[in-house]
Amino acid sequence: MIVAEGLEKSYTSGGRPLPVLRRIDLEVPPEAFLSIVGPSGSGKTTLLGLLAGLDEPSAGRVLLDGQDIFALTEDGRAEFRAQKVGFVFQTFHLLPTLTALENVLVPLELRGEYDGARARAEALLARVGLGERTDHYPAQLSGGEQQRVALARAFVNRPKILFADEPTGNLDRETGASIVAMLEELNRDAKTTLVLVTHDPSLAERAHRVISLSGGRIASDRPGSATAAMVGASR
Amino acid sequence: MKPRLRPRFAWRLAVRELRHGFRRVGVYMASITLGVGALVSIHSFRDDVARSVQEEADVLMGANARLADDAPLSAEVMSVLDSLSASGAGVARVTTATSMVFAPASNMVRLLQVRALDEGYPFYGEISTAPAGRWGRHLQPGQVLVDPAVLTQLAVEVGDTLVVGLTRLEIAGTVDDLPTDLAYQTAIGPRVHVSQATLAESELLVIGSLARYEAFLRIPDIEERRTLRERYDSIFDAADVDYTLAEEQAQSLSNGVRFLGRFLGLVGLGALLLGGVGVASAIHVYIREKRASIAVLRCLGAHQGTAFAAYLLQAGLLGLLGALGGVVLGLVVQAAMPTLLADVLPVDVTTRISLTSAAAGLGIGVWVALIFALIPLLGVRDVPPLAALRQDVEPHRRRWDPLRLGVYTLAAGSVVLLCVIEAPEPEVGFGFAGALAVASLLVAGTAWLLTQAARRWFPSGAPYPVRQGVSNLFRPQNQTMSVTLALGFGAFVIGTIVEVGGSIRDELTLSFGVGQPNVLLFDVQPDQVDGVLALMPDSARPSADVTPLVTSRIAAINGQTPDELRENPDREERPEGWAVRREYRNTYRPFIGPAESLVRGRWWDGTPGSEDDTAIDSGDLPGVSLEEDVAVSLRVGLGDTITWEVSGIEVPSVVMSLRRVDWERMEPNFFAVLEPGSLDGAPQTIVMVARVPDAAERAALQRDLVGRFPNVSALDFSRVQEAIDTVLSRVRQAVAFLGVFSGIAGVIVLLGALATSRMQRLREGALLKTLGARRRQVLTVLLSEYVALGTVATASGLLLAIGGAAIVVPTVFEMEYAPRLGALALIWGVVVALTVVVGLLGSRDLLNRAPLPVLREAPE
């Protein structure tokens, strides 16, 4: 589902190249749950941005669902995301001028899907527990509620791949846990490939696979402990 | 994967975002509203006036046609009138003369217009008098009706007596509304209305008196009055009589209204374009605020074009709302205009909603809003999706952006096009667009230089809050440039009015001032000169200048008649028509006048010209000295012969010298001065100029003249100065309209700039408070910023105004220029005070709110 080959990214600083990612090779099978961890500045967000086609690499390529995304124009990549990708952000990034329902509708409308869109968005909002608050604006919702709207938005277009950037980073522990539970549940039901960037070790360990970045390289690539425990238990 | 534009999504997003965006950007739409309002009201009202003038053509003339001449109507013309009258047409003569009118009750004298009317005039229109129903009394012997201004000028009341020439007349009432009046006529010379018989009895009119003779005709049939012209063309032409139809007069009047209206339209357009600057600045800030949302949309798969379209639609919708508001405002103003301007309008104006004007205003408003919004909106394309993950992503800059170039070209082209459409003539439109561009560039450039200078040279020893305030001018995403442009433009316009208008006023005061003649007596008969001199105070008599006036026409130049001269096929040699055909008022005297200098040839006494001292022998013929420019127009030089026709007698003369004349001087000056003795026996009147410094003595002289020499008119220059002041102040008011308009637009832009940078300011204020700043210090920071902003804006506008006046006053008006620092300082003070008040009002919560909630609310 996701293939990264020889992915490199460097920025120019003071006239000299400053490498942020060095030769990343990675393969994530369909329906997998991958988490990316590492200290600040290790290149986590850069990697996520490249995998999602939000930025262009200095070298290497990324295949999403078999499509070399950097062979597409910027607008082509946007269209690709509209069709196959979902996002969850640390700061929720709901459009402040739209209601919860309208925010969830955005990905469908961007694909030109209007028939049944509203019912679908309402159903998803009900599923994340906000069925009664569809007409509220982001400013009228708590952080946890905003992130739940963001989850509904991320899943509404049935993405094949979901990228989540520190989805619990701005939430307290308890709320964060409920968001993660919801994320996992939706992911399981929708059979989505999930890529998660996080600082939170306990959250990272819930993934099937944990990649740890350090200095722009993959320092370790191992199964998540929850999965390991599950695998261990099943043995 | 083929990218797809999603117009439906863009539309939905635009409408949804507008619910919130309106509050943020709505204030800018006010500038579009203001500009469109001005345009629509000016356009609609211009049409109203022009239409009403056309509809009321007969009422405006008081008749269907008019014959007019500067001399008594000839016997031939009178016989035409008699036959018209016999065939059933209405005929009424009107004679208008200027005369001194004396009021015994107040012992005051004024130079007024005396209008003698035949019964029947005006044939159309309602005349309102006070007391009501008195129109017609002026036809009775010993009665006079007067304009209301006469009562105030002479301090008299209805029932009092006026002395007009040799007659004593009782004021029967005032004429409050005569439909034939145009406002400016009565503003300059109030009138008394009498009968033709009274005028004859007064003996005001003697040979050479300045008067206008008209005959008004009532011929309701349009065809009939048109054929009249063809039938009597040769008679009218021979008598030099103007024949004007009511509809022709109305047409030229409504053309004038349209022409003036178009100039005002340019003013409205200027205001609208200034509003466009506000829109550009608003959208710029708005898009910056929307950066995160746009990045998220891009993450979620929105095409660049879809995001761009969504915000373009928003700008268009807001422009539409603003323009709609403007149309409503314009219609309200249009409806109020007839009442507001009742005093200065030529006719009763009926208002009619003009769909064309409304649609044009709407279209232009939306277009200006869109064009100016497009420039900052281009930035939407450059928001990278990565910005949703990272705050610090820089958009990659496009080196060569054909779209941006296209938008700038479109904007510049639109401005020029709108100016050309709006202007009375394309050249004026191009000129206005150019002037607007140059003025904006200069204001912006000066503002930039001033801010740079402040940044570089502002004393580092100044207290911290002051330095902080000044440095706020350069904070990231500051709106300093758009605020200074709008406010500076206002200051520039008002400053220019003060500088140029003030210079003209000063020059006039100087012309009429100390040492200059201040009384002009005209229509003096040769045998009255000694008597008039005797009436003058002793101090004035020696300096009194007595100049004979001989009305003449050119009969021939070097033996060729004017008609023969005009047939010359060679343009270089053919004299100009006006110069050979005009009526000359010549004089004769032995000396060179104080406003003259001899350029070529020699004066009678042998004084040589400064450039050429050729002596001409005129033989037995008298010599003539010509003004140098008229000599060029007549294509004559030294030694040529000009034959003058004076009351039917031909007087040949030889050009002996050419003079240069300073026409701005108060002394009477002439195109042609003849050798003394050459015109002794010719019919003539005398003009006298004197300096009578004491106002009481001037008044006494005027009174005595009325008693002794009723045909003599006296013009007190201080009154002329007042009249010119009145006219100038009207012009100033009209131009000030643009200044005030741009000032209001400036305040709107300022308000918007404050609203859009509110969060940033709140955060800074909260931070300062957290770091221990007291309320007073935060206030000082704000105060310094607004004072600095107001100063930069005003200074750039005023510097430009001074620069403009320094060029315009000497070149266009040929006057000396010195900046009027007091008035400029006042403008500076007002604009700075305005900026500070608006700024502080907009920043109240910055002073009053506790720091913590603010810092929490604004995470960035």
Tell me which of A13, A20, A54 to substitute to probe the interface with B (most B C-beta atoms closer than 10 Å): A54
Q: What is the pLDDT of residue B187?
A: 47
The tokens for B502 are 């003030």
Phi and psi at residue B581, to the nearest 5°: -95, -20
pLDDT class of B700 with cuts at 50, 70, 90: confident
Question: Nearest CA of chain A to the CA of B478: how many Å?
Answer: 24
Q: Are B766 and B855 in contact (CB under 8 A)?
A: yes
Is residue A234 pLDDT above 50, yes or no?
A: no
8-state DSSP, A54: S
Is residue B730 pLDDT above 70, yes or no?
A: no
- Mean pLDDT estimate for chain A: 88
Q: What is the pLDDT of residue B410?
A: 92
Cα–Cα distance list, B512 to B48, B353, B503 (Å): 41, 48, 14
Q: What is the pLDDT of residue A117?
A: 92
Q: What is the pLDDT of residue B195?
A: 93
pTM over 0.80: no
- Nearest-by-CA chain A residue for B305: A75
Chain B residue numbers touching A45 (CB-CB < 8 A) = 389-390
- Nearest-by-CA chain B residue for A101: B16
Q: SS3 for B809?
A: helix
Is residue B790 pLDDT above 80, yes or no?
A: yes
Q: What is the pLDDT of residue A232?
A: 46
CA distance B842 to B749: 12
CA distance B742 to B493: 8
Chain B residue numbers touching A151 (CB-CB < 8 A) = none
Q: Which residue do the tokens 């002394």 mark? A: B667
Question: Residues A202-213: what's their mean pLDDT?
Answer: 91
Question: Residues B651-668: what's their mean pLDDT?
Answer: 85
Contact A97 B21 (CB under 8 A): yes
CA distance B828 to B482: 18
Q: What is the pLDDT of residue B673?
A: 93
Element (DSSP H or E) covering residue A227? helix A225-234
CA distance B800 to B787: 20
Q: What is the pLDDT of residue B458?
A: 81
CA distance B480 to B746: 12
Element (DSSP H or E) covering residue B361? helix B355-377
Q: What is the pLDDT of residue B158?
A: 93
Question: Residues B26-51: what's their mean pLDDT?
Answer: 82
- Mean pLDDT estimate for chain B: 83
The interface predicted TM-score (ipTM) is 0.88
Chain A residues bordering chain B (beta-carbon distance below 8 Å): 45, 48-49, 52, 54-55, 67, 72-83, 85, 87, 89, 91, 93, 95-98, 102, 106-107, 109-112, 114, 153, 165
Tell me which of A11, A88, A106, A161 to substitute to probe the interface with B (most B C-beta atoms closer than 10 Å): A106
For B468-498, write each residue's pLDDT tens digit: 888 888 776 677 777 787 778 778 877 877 7
Q: What is the pLDDT of residue B859?
A: 44
Report, in angstroms and rounded to the nearest whole number, the Rg of chain B calculated over CA atoms: 35
CA distance B797 to B484: 9
CA distance B428 to B37: 22
Q: What is the pLDDT of residue B208?
A: 60
Contact A78 B298 (CB under 8 A): yes
Cα–Cα distance list, B554 to B28, B241, B356, B603, B789 (Å): 65, 19, 53, 22, 65
Listed range (A97-106, B404-413, B666-675) with the worst mean pLDDT: B666-675
Candidates A189, A193, A197, A201; CA nearest to A225 is A201
B7 to chain A, any CB pair closer than 8 A? The answer is no
Chain A residue numbers touching B297 (CB-CB < 8 A) = 95, 106, 110
Chain A residue numbers touching B4 (CB-CB < 8 A) = 79, 112
Chain B residue numbers touching A78 (CB-CB < 8 A) = 3, 298, 301-304, 385
Q: SS3 for A169?
A: coil
pLDDT class of A227 with cuts at 50, 70, 90: low
Q: What amino acid is encoded at A95 in this protein?
A: L
Element (DSSP H or E) covering residue A19? strand A16-28
- Nearest-by-CA chain A residue for B300: A82
Tell me which of B389, B393, B396, B860 to substitute to probe the interface with A (most A C-beta atoms closer than 10 Å): B389
Q: Which residue do the tokens 């739940």 mark? A: A148
Q: What is the pLDDT of residue B722?
A: 66
Q: What is the pLDDT of residue B343?
A: 64
For A20-72, write each residue's pLDDT tens digit: 999 999 999 999 999 999 988 898 989 999 999 988 899 999 999 999 999 99
Phi and psi at residue B432, to the nearest 5°: -65, -45
Is residue B624 pLDDT above 90, yes or no?
A: yes
Question: Nearest CA of chain B to the CA of A110: how many Å?
Answer: 6
Contact B293 A97 (CB under 8 A): yes
Q: Where are the alpha helices (DSSP H) in B568-716?
A: 577-581, 628-634, 695-708
Edge-first strand order for the sheet with A2-13 is A16-28, A2-13, A59-64, A67-68
Among the partner residues A67, A97, A112, nearest to B1 by beta-carbon distance: A67
Contact A87 B300 (CB under 8 A): yes
pLDDT class of B578 with cuts at 50, 70, 90: confident
Contact B16 A98 (CB under 8 A): yes
Q: Which residue do the tokens 């082209």 mark? A: B413
> In sequence order, what DSSP letters do the residues of B760-808 get, joined into one string?
HHHHHHHHHHHTT--HHHHHHHHHHHHHHHHHHHHHHHHHHHHHHHHHH
Question: Nearest CA of chain A to the CA of B491: how many Å?
Answer: 38
Question: Nearest CA of chain A to the CA of B53: how many Å?
Answer: 53
Show the beta-strand stretches assigned E in B6-134: 65-69, 90-103, 108-117, 128-130
Question: Nearest CA of chain B to the CA of A234: how many Å?
Answer: 38
Q: What is the pLDDT of residue B727?
A: 63
Q: What is the pLDDT of residue A172?
A: 87
Q: Are B698 and B111 in contact (CB under 8 A)?
A: no
Q: What is the pLDDT of residue B513?
A: 55
Half-sphere exposure of B164 toward its Cβ, with a 13 Å CA cutoff? 35
Contact A97 B16 (CB under 8 A): yes
Among the partner residues B6, B19, B859, nearest to A97 by beta-carbon distance: B19
Question: Nearest CA of chain A to the CA of B319: how many Å?
Answer: 19
For A144-198, write each residue's pLDDT tens digit: 999 999 999 999 988 999 999 989 888 888 888 888 888 888 888 889 999 999 8
CA distance B737 to A99: 45
Q: Which residues fall within 8 angstroms of residue A220, CB to CB, at 6 or more apart?
A: A210, A211, A212
Q: Which residue do the tokens 């010209």 mark? A: B609
Contact B301 A52 (CB under 8 A): no
Question: Nearest CA of chain A to the CA of B301: how many Å?
Answer: 4
Residues forming beta bridges with residue B139, ordered by sequence position: none
Among the partner residues A54, A102, A165, nearest to B385 by beta-carbon distance: A54
8-state DSSP, B158: T
Q: SS3 for B843?
A: coil
Contact B301 A165 (CB under 8 A): no
Instruction: End-to-end CA distance of chain A: give it in Å, rounded.
Output: 27
Question: Residues B266-295: what's their mean pLDDT?
Answer: 80
Contact A109 B293 (CB under 8 A): no
Contact A48 B389 (CB under 8 A): yes
More confident residue, B21 or B673: B673
Among the partner residues B3, B296, B304, nearest to A95 by beta-carbon distance: B296
Q: Are B314 and B17 in contact (CB under 8 A)?
A: yes
Residues forming beta bridges with residue B177, ordered by sequence position: B128
For B216-227, write each residue's pLDDT tens digit: 999 988 888 888
The tokens for B315 are 């700008």
Instruction: End-to-end CA distance of chain B: give it in Å, rounded.
Output: 36
Listed range (A120-124, B88-92, B106-110, B401-405) with the worst mean pLDDT: B106-110
Percent of chain B with pLDDT over 90: 15
Edge-first strand order for the sheet with A217-223 is A85-88, A161-165, A193-197, A33-37, A209-214, A217-223
Phi and psi at residue B212, to the nearest 5°: -120, 130
Q: How many CB pairs under 8 A join A and B?
A: 107
Question: Nearest CA of chain A to the CA of B389: how many Å?
Answer: 7
Residues shown for chain B? 860
Q: What is the pLDDT of residue B860?
A: 41
Contact A76 B16 (CB under 8 A): no
Element (DSSP H or E) covering residue A144? helix A143-155
Question: Nearest CA of chain B to the CA of A78: how many Å?
Answer: 4
Q: Are B557 and B538 in contact (CB under 8 A)?
A: no
The three-point CA angle B296-B300-B303 to 5° equals 95
B4 to chain A, any CB pair closer than 8 A? The answer is yes
Is residue B188 pLDDT above 60, yes or no?
A: no
Q: What is the pLDDT of residue A27?
A: 93
Listed range (B111-120, B203-212, B321-330) with the worst mean pLDDT: B203-212
